[in-house]
Chains A and B, each alone.
Chain A
């Protein structure tokens, strides 16, 4: 029996309601976007009582499908002004699935200054006062909650940045070790949660045995899941052994590694921050690569990174963080980047948006490029809410405007991922056209995808379109993107859903689902006031040639307008 848990933060009511049948085949991003579309006025103020925040496991979460433990959070974004879905690994999604909770829908907002924890278990759900947690970072918050509610609970929390409604605030999710190292980072979901007056969600799945997806043929389903798991564990060894930092070398090789606020495509210090250095150092100090961020993950791309004294520093040190807070800020010390990652995770800040914000601040002359200590101080100012901190906490677009910087690599107000769109043109098309704003998880045209040259514009519209559709499907299913937005994955998902439903589900059905979700998101954005002129890259990408290959972004506006016109 699948339920929606509707939590009204204005009056404190918590109501479980049966999930209406027409939502049965929606999950993850598919469900968050549909509910936001149906229940939120697109013109509403994102941090007011008219916005809602939807927390949803994916459609396959809780099954034996590999790497299916993603948690989607959706709302109208204070960063982009449009619809947002941001997802993370961790343990929360599977626990919600075991409790039969298809979505938590947060509505209204508590009185300013009042803070709550939502406790969910098999005996029910309730809001508890959380005054003692106010101002705490995610790590201290999690320590207190684990002491109080037990070490097996799953936790979703915000840090001081979310409490202070910063548009760059993330939502943290605990990993299997109980650490708040997995984040729904993008789009300021932490600020939306903070605006509701919700500090944390505690999920206790002891004695819970529900499922979200009824399986007509469980043995057939499990057999396909087992086969797919085996294939993934055999073919994703680079991610298992070196993490996403294994991208540093190939992205440098095609001249697309964002360096010095997107002014160059290769970084002199790249050899100090690549996946091999990370893996070697993690292991030598008692940490590890091959760490699973959620139970049942067969890819295990995460890592545990210790400091020079062998003490835990951070986990899930990712390529995007390493490049945007590293190369893009001309910082080539992996230990320093790991410290910045830890600070961002603790304060509840998106490491990617912070990488951009700091680089833009560096370009403005607020601090020198490469000044790690000043970056730490500025992150502290965001957490403590000084005037400067409040500016930086709004992200790169606001920071660029305040300090008069022309080179601000954002679309719809959101900072790009760590791929320069002049060198990875397909990814540039995704940045421009995704309803999520500049976002690599929406359809990342990595070198080699679709057989096209990433430096050339030919064929990229098709590759971006197909990847955006397949990535949307993966987000809706609760699968990790690293199963691959690929035709092979669509085939496996179709086979799994066919066994689950007892009727044939085709790849075409899945692609149609992805298109429908994208249509819904675009429709929300249009009503929110975003137009095709928002589906563009900043003009400097067309004008400034990117060294070393002297590339510009040369995909026409007409081509961009056709990408998601289905």
Chain B
């Protein structure tokens, strides 16, 4: 399946050739969770502070569905 990954400015520094604001398409074999996606991108899970799937708050263990839009935010503190 394919999902769209939108990484924040800090996380995208870990992703080579990240295309920009529109995010990147990524192919994964089903079933896959957010953790599997992070492993594929070599992003340590502890560096991700917030995951939204299709705009909804989600856990890193959440199973992904085809065409999901996955937003990844780094550890946030503020403000």
Chain A residues in contact with chain B, CB under 8 A? 235-239, 241-242, 244, 246-247, 249-250, 253-254, 275-276, 318-320, 323, 417-419, 440, 444, 446-448, 451, 453-455, 481-482, 484
Q: Which residues of B contact A249 (CB under 8 A)?
A: 8, 73
Contact A246 B52 (CB under 8 A): no
Chain B residues in contact with chain A, CB under 8 A? 8-10, 46-47, 49-52, 55-57, 59, 71, 73-79
Contact B59 A238 (CB under 8 A): no
Report the number of A-B residue pairs with Cβ-Cβ less than 8 Å: 80
Contact B9 A275 (CB under 8 A): yes
Closest to A274 in B: B9
The residue from B8, B46, B59 contacting A250, defined by CB atoms under 8 A apart: B8
Considering the chains assembled together, what is the distance between the CA atoms of A444 and B76 in angstroms? 11
Contact B76 A481 (CB under 8 A): no
Closest to B46 in A: A235
Q: Which residues of B contact A481 (CB under 8 A)?
A: 77
State the main secondary structure of chain A at its contact with B: helix
Considering the chains assembled together, what is the distance between the CA atoms of A191 and B28 in angstroms? 59
Contact B9 A238 (CB under 8 A): yes
The residue from B50, B55, B79 contacting A448, defined by CB atoms under 8 A apart: B50
Considering the chains assembled together, what is the distance between the CA atoms of A323 and B52 in angstroms? 22
Known: A250-B50, A447-B57. A238 touches B74 (CB 8 A): yes
Closest to A481 in B: B77
Known: A250-B73, A253-B71. A446 touches B78 (CB 8 A): yes
Contact B79 A241 (CB under 8 A): no
- By CB atoms of chain B within 10 A, which of A235, A275, A448, A455 has the most? A448
Contact A417 B10 (CB under 8 A): no
Contact A444 B52 (CB under 8 A): no
CB distance from A231 to the nearest CB of B (A): 11
Contact B10 A246 (CB under 8 A): yes
Contact A236 B77 (CB under 8 A): yes
CB distance from B17 to the nearest CB of A (A): 18
Contact B57 A454 (CB under 8 A): yes
Considering the chains assembled together, what is the distance between the CA atoms of A244 and B77 in angstroms? 7
> 20 A-B residue contacts at CB 8 Å?
A236-B75, A236-B77, A238-B8, A241-B9, A244-B78, A246-B8, A246-B74, A247-B78, A249-B73, A250-B73, A254-B52, A318-B79, A323-B79, A417-B79, A419-B79, A440-B79, A444-B78, A446-B50, A446-B76, A447-B50
